[in-house]
Structure 1
């Protein structure tokens, strides 16, 4: 047990310990003398002298009954405080964690608004890096439909949920030294069975086997990285993502969906009744801000929203609901898409009310950078104001472009805008 943690400000337990100690001082008359006299006798006699003025002969009895009541109250309130915290955190941290760690975590995490972000890939992890600087109360809900790369191999070989996007979010929220982050992101290059695997994926897979549960493995990994907030899979069920194209062709598998010169009509999950977890539902209900995106529209964002229970909970909450539109189109997935096309795809899949505001970047990068992206088939997402208004979406546009060699959101600028919106609308 880490004794100094008990003295961390605001835990709400020390006060009851002091009440109990003071009560024993009142009721006791035989403790070891301090500084040459019996302190308990001195304090008790002084109090009795004062009480005699008001209560006469009953003063001694009243003092002892009061002290006894204070002891019982102190013990009861201490127990209540510990029980309350354990009940509050029993779905957030490993059930076997020490109660002191739960209390300490409660105090440490009381910073900033409750934010729940949905997505996957680099878009979500980039957003989290900015958000974590001003809030510890972050929840990243991550798609588990990935079936390619290292995640897909582990999914097929071990029968676990794909850990890749979850690993990226854990690293983004990490509060450890950079070496630990580099370790989790390290990808093996040697030939053989480890080739292409990241250490973080293998670590989560190993923890899943040791603990027997994927969610528990993610929680344990969260503690190792000391993340600010929590990372949750959208569902614990083994789901697959499918797509139907405008020519009515159907394909299954997240990695098989982006196809050159084929326009996606809709995506779906199999099984279609896959449900989210109680922890995700509770996080949405407590949220001050709900953020959808940025990220791959059809393969990162919608796989979250299609999980049964998530869209319904989002629509029912009074939280500020934001959709962060991508800066660039994605080759073979959102070719020629405008901001309104992105928004309409989400509304078509989930119905109206899934978000109230769309955040769009209104600055373009240098011509040199644009040419680099155009060579890969990616173009800036255009803002078509009238179509967005026709969809009933309120537009928030700003210069959100990162000032470097990539055309993506600046995590700090985006996070600052979101916090300003939260202050304005909540």
Structure 2
């Protein structure tokens, strides 16, 4: 890496884990890009996507909010969700703005760029694709399930996920960002419905395989009912390998402190438990294990600590 250019950092993912990483990273002297899944089909996002034939805006909206340096009031407005009233109930203001800009500009990605400018976003935001895409899963028992929000509800073991249309055309800028990156971070999140939908697109997995940058996966701290019941960290890595082959992910970041008993009880109600870190097995898969206390201990729920994880990632560069 030449000394005069800022390090290129790419974060790949969707769901709740991604904004946490981005909020911390945006304050570092880096060129930050976020590549965001658009396969969501639940709630406001799903309704807009069906009615307006646009990619799902929900995860993009949360990433814009995380990277924005706008007035707090403006961000509050952007994240506002309408409670009652027939047509608007459940919709979030940001999703509606993204839908409006897409229809004004005729293009989802251009809409994102416009709203990023208005909300003073630090970094670049790329939807993984500029078109609508649908996630499907094949379960271990052979049944097929369609729709990102339906997959965890089956409460079955997932064998693999795949996308339609096949192939999805990823945004060329997203592919290029991965190729140019000094580090690519696969964000924590729902493994099969937030993380894998991005990386199973062939051009994306090729870019991960061919980038000169390091690719690191921030592992989930808890299992997720309906997706990763009983999964160890090694099982998470194995699922990635099963979908895109070995050699795409160089390291995994795991939490190395025990989870408090009362926190376990809260999660047990959701049938979630701490992910077991079978580090030996992961090393046998030729993936480096990076252990660190990465949890925000002040939160009522288990969340990755924005500052700790950003600092760790910055050191890795």
Structure 2: distance between partners of 1:377 and 1:395: 27
Q: What residue in structure 1 maps to residue 120 of structure 2?
A: 226
**How many pairs were matched up?**
313
1:418 aligns to 2:313 (yes or no): yes
Select the structure that is richer in strand: 2
| Alpha-carbon distance, 1:112 to partner | 4.3
Select the structure that is richer in helix: 1
Structure 1: distance between partners of 2:250 and 2:195: 16
| Other structure's SS at 1:256 match | coil
Contact 1:136–1:228 (Cα < 8 Å) also in 2: no
Contact 1:115–1:137 (Cα < 8 Å) also in 2: yes
Q: What residue in structure 2 maps to residue 187 of structure 1?
A: 81
Higher mean C-alpha deviation, range 272-281 or range 187-196: 272-281
| Alpha-carbon distance, 1:281 to partner | 1.8
1:274 aligns to 2:168 (yes or no): yes
The Cα offsets for residues 65-91 of structure 1, whole Å up to 9 and x where unpaired, read as: xxxxxxxxxxxxxxxxxxxxxxxxxxx
Q: What residue in structure 1 maps to residue 266 of structure 2?
A: 372
1:397 aligns to 2:291 (yes or no): yes
| Alpha-carbon distance, 1:177 to partner | 1.7
Which of 1 and 2 has higher RCO (CA within 8 Å, sep 6+)? 2
Runs of 4+ that moved beyond 4 A: none
Find 2:205's aligned residue among 311, 331, 338. Answer: 311
Structure 2: distance between partners of 1:260 and 1:238: 23
| Other structure's SS at 2:185 match | strand
Structure 1: distance between partners of 2:5 and 2:311: 15
Q: What residue in structure 2 maps to residue 214 of structure 1?
A: 108
Q: What residue in structure 2 maps to residue 95 of structure 1?
A: none
Find 1:406's aligned residue among 301, 312, 316. Answer: 301
RMSD between aligned alpha carbons? 1.3
| Alpha-carbon distance, 1:114 to partner | 0.8
Contact 1:111–1:134 (Cα < 8 Å) also in 2: no
| Other structure's SS at 2:101 match | helix
Unaligned 5+ runs, structure 1 = 1-109
Between structure 1 and structure 2, the one with the greater Rg is 1
| Other structure's SS at 1:200 match | helix
Structure 2: distance between partners of 1:246 and 1:146: 22
TM normalised by structure 2 equals 0.96
The Cα offsets for residues 7-57 of structure 1, whole Å up to 9 and x where unpaired, read as: xxxxxxxxxxxxxxxxxxxxxxxxxxxxxxxxxxxxxxxxxxxxxxxxxxx
Structure 2: distance between partners of 1:156 and 1:263: 28
